């Protein structure tokens, strides 16, 4: 069975109303101070940063976002095709799973915004529960188990990716016969290197992104059209071709 790996970045979720971070209208360009709210050292050292981070989480567009046509097309390919589909995502929004992709087939390289983790005892609980505490007046809710500092279960700036998740992603990239990089600038390492690893191991590399990426020269196909229509069209074409051409 042909293994199709899909590496998704922020661009796949913009149609769902979630802004990207580094684009022309991206969060870091509009508010450079916002980057401190998701930088581990600042977050751990400064209670005011944490209070602002909790307000940012509470107001996040993620909680209102719905999966779009691109997310649903990926899940449809998994359900209907003779392909083995695996998603490796740089996103923390959980929309691939909400769009119908089984959680066990989604690798979240940068973690998930839908869970909180204690930096002390590593206990996990739901973001919904933590935000309810913020809503009730706790500006910087501590861990209920040990009193430690809580953060979203995302990889902040200054934190390493989970080595087990990264190793699994590399294994998928090496084994894939088709590797689709969609909505990602392919500039953030080590996630971006997965495209190169896949190409080096013989995968057909397809890049679906509005802007040029550092890996375009390795790509067998480059698609610049809007992702919401381009990805479903590409995946339908893939599904109708047993060889994945």
Q: Is the pLDDT of residue 63 over 60?
A: yes
Cβ neighbour number for residue 110 with a 10 Å cutoff: 20
The structural domains of the chain, with segments of one domain joined by +, span 1-18+70-110+161-245, 31-64+115-154
Domain 1-18+70-110+161-245: CATH superfamily is TPP-binding domain (3.40.50.1220)
pLDDT in tens, 221-232: 999 999 999 999
Give a three-class secondary structure readout of 128-162: HHHHHHHHCCCCCCECCCCCCEEEEEECCECCCCC
Q: Which residues, at least 6 apart from 194, have a Cβ–Cβ distance to it below 8 Å?
A: 5, 7, 88, 169, 170, 173, 179
**pTM, to two decimals:** 0.91
36 contacts: CB under 8 Å, gap ≥ 6? 42, 43, 49
Q: 6 near 85, Cβ under 8 Å? A: yes
DSSP 8-state assignment for residue 71: H
Q: For 171-184, what is each residue's pLDDT tens digit?
A: 999 999 999 999 99
Higher pLDDT, 29 or 210: 210
Q: Does domain 31-64+115-154 have CATH number 3.30.43.10?
A: no
* Identified catalytic residue from 96, 110, 122, 201: 110
Mean of pLDDT values over 60-85: 94
Q: In what order do the strands lie in the sheet with 111-118?
A: 124-126, 111-118, 150-154
Q: Is 96 a catalytic residue?
A: no
Cα distance between residue 77 and residue 60, in whole Å: 29
DSSP state of 39: B
């Amino acid at each position: 069975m042909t293994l199709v790996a899909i590496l998704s970045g922020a661009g796949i979720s913009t149609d769902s109303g979630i802004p990207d971070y580094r684009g022309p209208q991206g969060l870091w360009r509009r508010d450079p101070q916002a980057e401190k709210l998701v930088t581990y050292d600042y977050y751990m050292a400064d209670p005011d940063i944490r209070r602002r981070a909790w307000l940012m989480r509470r107001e996040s567009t993620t909680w209102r976002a719905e999966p779009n046509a691109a997310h649903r097309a990926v899940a449809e390919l998994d359900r209907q095709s003779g392909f083995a589909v695996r998603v490796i995502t740089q996103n923390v929004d959980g929309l691939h799973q909400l769009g119908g992709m089984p959680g066990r087939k989604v690798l979240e390289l940068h973690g998930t915004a839908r869970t909180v983790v204690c930096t002390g005892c590593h206990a996990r609980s739901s973001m919904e529960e933590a935000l309810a505490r913020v809503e009730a007046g706790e500006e910087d809710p501590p861990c209920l188990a040990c009193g430690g500092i809580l953060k979203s279960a995302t990889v902040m700036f200054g934190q390493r990716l989970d080595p087990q998740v990264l190793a699994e992603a590399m294994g998928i990239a090496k084994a894939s016969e088709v590797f689709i990089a969609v909505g990602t600038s392919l500039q953030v390492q080590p996630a971006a290197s997965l495209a190169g690893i896949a190409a080096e191991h013989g995968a057909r590399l397809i890049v679906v992104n509005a802007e040029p990426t550092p890996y375009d020269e390795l790509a067998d196909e480059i698609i610049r059209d809007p992702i919401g229509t381009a990805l479903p069209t590409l995946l339908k074409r893939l599904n109708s071709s047993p060889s994945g051409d």
